Copies of this chain bind each other. A is one copy, B any other.
């Protein structure tokens, strides 16, 4: 009944009547071993249900653990889920496993997670930096050879590889699409906080597109929210303006959900919409939702391959990889602007 101690290498060795090192050799296909010893060892391993203690091994070998620490804002956000899957797919053949945590965009939680990951001696650290987080504490680790990669946003206080979407250009193209259909009052439903990198970049792209068309930037057409509910309210607020927007640009996938839901609720199909980041069912909406699609698979893949290259000794200077977005025209951005 007592919870038996898990068998160790030594237990297996004793069972067979060889030394621990011999068992180790067989299991790691290190050095030579007679066929008979091999078989006996393998049999004993199976019999005892022995599983090598990876922590002990790592301690001895001194190298990093075969894990990759990944900090994202929210495990349940499909965008980051897709990124995570792409990372996993890319590193799996190298035997790396994901150690994951959500920061909820809280710098303290992010720090707690990275500290834990570092204490576990992860091979690679990947972080979607929270707003307000500082990363200078990672400098020494990076210098010591730990690949550190920032995802989706650049980090602060540390120069290292970053993978980001073409936020500014993508948003520009989305907004230009709306302008091309005659819209001049275009609302921007952005996420919060306003200091968030992606928010700032996308807003900059929005402004650039306006400027290009000689449309003055109008602050009252910019609304913000933390979540989907907030995005509904923000949308509602914009449409209640005395001189309301005829088109809306949603700043990310969550804002898109809220904006679209609110328009559906109030049955306003005349409002043109383009969203940043694709969402499922976009094509089933009426009109189907036009989006600036990100490429989470490519973001994850780039991050992983970059990190693996670093792990293999690449010490060249920090790169910033910008993964292109793609305007996917589905209809929602083509409502004509009403004649003035």
A84-99, CB < 8 A from B: 84-85, 88, 97-99
Distance to closest chain B CB from A259 (angstroms): 10
Distance to closest chain B CB from A315 (angstroms): 9
Contacts of A117 in B (CB 8 A): 97
Q: Is the CB of A115 within 8 A of B51?
A: yes
Q: Is the CB of A280 within 8 A of B283?
A: no
Q: Is the CB of A78 within 8 A of B81?
A: yes
A138-185, CB < 8 A from B: 140, 143-145
A18 at the interface (CB under 8 A from B): no
Q: Is the CB of A81 within 8 A of B85?
A: no
Number of chain A residues whose Cβ lies closer than 8 Å to a Cβ of chain B = 59
Distance to closest chain B CB from A44 (angstroms): 15
Contacts of A78 in B (CB 8 A): 76, 78, 81
Which B-chain residue is minimally distant from A119 (CB atoms)? B54
Q: Is the CB of A119 within 8 A of B59?
A: no
Distance to closest chain B CB from A114 (angstroms): 10
0 or 1 for each of A24-38: is its CB under 8 Å from B? (1 = yes): 000000000000000
Which of B49, B99, B282 lies in contact with A97, CB distance below 8 A? B99
Distance to closest chain B CB from A105 (angstroms): 13
Which B-chain residue is minimally distant from A57 (CB atoms)? B119
Which of B4, B67, B88, B121 lies in contact with A143, CB distance below 8 A? B4
Distance to closest chain B CB from A251 (angstroms): 16
Q: Is the CB of A286 within 8 A of B286?
A: yes
Contacts of A241 in B (CB 8 A): none
Contacts of A52 in B (CB 8 A): 119
A276-304, CB < 8 A from B: 279-286, 288
Known: A144-B4, A284-B260. A75 touches B55 (CB 8 A): no
Which of B49, B84, B121 lies in contact with A55, CB distance below 8 A? B121
A101 at the interface (CB under 8 A from B): yes
A56 at the interface (CB under 8 A from B): yes
Known: A88-B75, A102-B85. A264 touches B280 (CB 8 A): no
A116 at the interface (CB under 8 A from B): yes
Which of B5, B67, B284 lies in contact with A285, CB distance below 8 A? B284
Q: Is the CB of B76 within 8 A of A143?
A: no
A65 at the interface (CB under 8 A from B): yes
> In the complex, A6→B119 CA distance in Å?
11
Contacts of A200 in B (CB 8 A): none
Contacts of A282 in B (CB 8 A): 281
> In the complex, A121→B65 CA distance in Å?
13
Q: Is the CB of B88 within 8 A of A82?
A: no
Q: Is the CB of A51 within 8 A of B119?
A: yes
